[in-house]
């Protein structure tokens, strides 16, 4: 296990293998961090800042924390429009800074949480700049990197956050239930696992605590080494390059077939693209995800733009190493077919 932690630490450029521990998934890692920090923050009356685009699990964990410890949550709303990377990043940094300033003197916001890659829409956030900004206001930073490891390079020392959680089972190609939690050495004394047990091994109480969280299958953690070896053989850069190029050319295939467009420019996203659907009729749209699954064994999330006056629906499509252009061509065709033919019998009769 130490050997695997050492390989993973090198992969994300962590200083030491003992700053990296295994957790089952991003949910488990986020829970461990937020629920460990909550009692102390409650004593000092600090606030938790998060973005409206946070994964619902993060919001639910914060709501639990608030409910139990009477913490104050600070949500910063993120609006999206088809726009450039620079415009998106500078507006986001401006909005986060305004919230930090408005919260009160330095340290009023105790913790801020940001996705490295937002789930919906799939957008890469400027986590290094967000971290530096929060640190200037005395705020610790938790990065939810559930979608990042294997999709984009992670340089933990460069980001310089306090906590970083990353899944192996999304883009690294290790089995389900394989994820890591990195904690800055200065913060390790504050963090315990979600499940506290009684024994373990390791160089510090932090590592010992996470090394044994009750009886469980450890094979998925060990398998992360094989995933890293495989990636090294293929070339990590080549994998990421292939996926990004496919996501971008795939987005063009979809947008051309549907007469729509991708959300934002190429730099906003990595291997997942967001493309507007050729319908804004909620009755048709709601049949799409189940229709694709039932008829074609294909799953794509469908969502609408939050905090936008635009009545538009988008799909998020993942370009994995095992996909190619034909998958996007098929999706383009199937969506058109389902939108035109997939109406409920009552609706079709009234058309």
Ligand X SMILES: Cc1ncc(COP(=O)(O)O)c(C=O)c1O
Residues that bind ligand X (CB under 6 A): 25-27, 55, 57, 115, 119, 144, 146-147, 167
- Cα 233-236-237 angle, rounded to 5 deg: 125
Nearer Cβ to ligand X (73/136): 73
Q: Given the DSSP bridges, would you call strands 313-318 and 272-276 parallel, antiparallel or unpaired? A: antiparallel
Residue 99, both tokens: 């919230």
Residue listed under structure tokens 């310089």: 160
- The residue (of 172 and 338) whose beta carbon lies closer to ligand X is 172
- The least CB distance from residue 99 to ligand X, in Å, is 20
Question: Between 271 and 287, whose beta carbon lies closer to ligand X?
Answer: 271
Q: Which residue has the tokens 């799909």?
A: 315
| Closest approach of ligand X to the CB of residue 177, in Å | 8
Question: Any idea how long the chain is?
Answer: 351
Closest CB to ligand X among residues 54, 103: 54
Closest contact distance (angstroms) between CB of 274 and ligand X is 14
Distance CA 305, CA 120 (A): 9
DSSP sequence for 247-261: HHHHHHHHHHHHT--
CA–CA separation, 283 and 61 (whole Å): 32
- Smallest separation, CB 333 to ligand X (Å): 27
Burial code (b: 16+ CB inside 10 Å, e: under 16) for 120-132 equals bbbbbbbbeebbe
Instruction: State in angstroms the smallest separation of the CB of 145 from ligand X.
Output: 8
Looking at the Cβ atoms of 19 and 144, the one nearer to ligand X is: 144
């Amino acid at each position: 296990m130490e050997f695997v932690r050492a390989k993973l630490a090198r992969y994300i450029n962590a200083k030491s293998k003992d700053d990296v521990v295994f957790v089952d998934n991003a949910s488990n890692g986020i829970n461990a961090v937020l629920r460990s920090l909550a009692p102390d923050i409650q004593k000092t009356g600090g606030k938790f800042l998060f973005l409206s685009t946070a994964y619902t699990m993060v919001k639910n964990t914060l709501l639990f924390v608030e409910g139990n410890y009477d913490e104050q949550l600070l949500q910063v709303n993120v609006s999206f429009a088809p726009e450039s990377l620079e415009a998106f990043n500078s507006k986001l940094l401006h909005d986060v800074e305004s919230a930090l300033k408005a919260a009160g003197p330095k340290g009023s916001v105790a913790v801020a949480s940001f996705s490295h890659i937002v789930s919906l829409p799939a957008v890469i956030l400027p986590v290094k700049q967000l971290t530096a900004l929060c640190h200037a206001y005395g705020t610790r930073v938790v990065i939810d990197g559930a979608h990042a490891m294997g999709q984009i390079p992670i340089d933990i020392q460069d980001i310089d956050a306090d906590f970083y959680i990353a899944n192996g089972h999304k883009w690294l190609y290790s089995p389900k239930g394989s994820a890591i939690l990195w904690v800055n050495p200065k913060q390790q004394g504050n963090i315990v696992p979600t499940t506290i047990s009684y024994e373990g091994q390791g160089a510090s109480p932090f590592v010992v605590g996470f090394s044994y969280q009750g009886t469980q299958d450890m094979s998925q953690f060990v398998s992360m080494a094989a995933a890293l070896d495989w990636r090294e053989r293929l070339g990590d850069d080549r994998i990421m390059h292939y996926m990004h190029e496919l996501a971008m050319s795939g987005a063009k295939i979809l947008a051309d077939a549907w007469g729509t467009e991708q959300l934002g420019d190429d730099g906003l996203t990595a291997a997942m693209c967001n493309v507007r659907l050729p319908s804004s009729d909620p009755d048709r749209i709601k049949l799409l995800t189940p229709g694709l699954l039932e008829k074609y064994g294909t799953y794509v999330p469908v969502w609408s733009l939050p905090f936008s006056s635009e009545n538009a629906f988008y799909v998020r499509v993942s370009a994995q190493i095992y996909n190619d252009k034909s998958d996007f061509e098929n999706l383009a065709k199937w969506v058109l077919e389902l939108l035109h033919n997939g109406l409920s019998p009552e609706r079709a009769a009234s058309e």
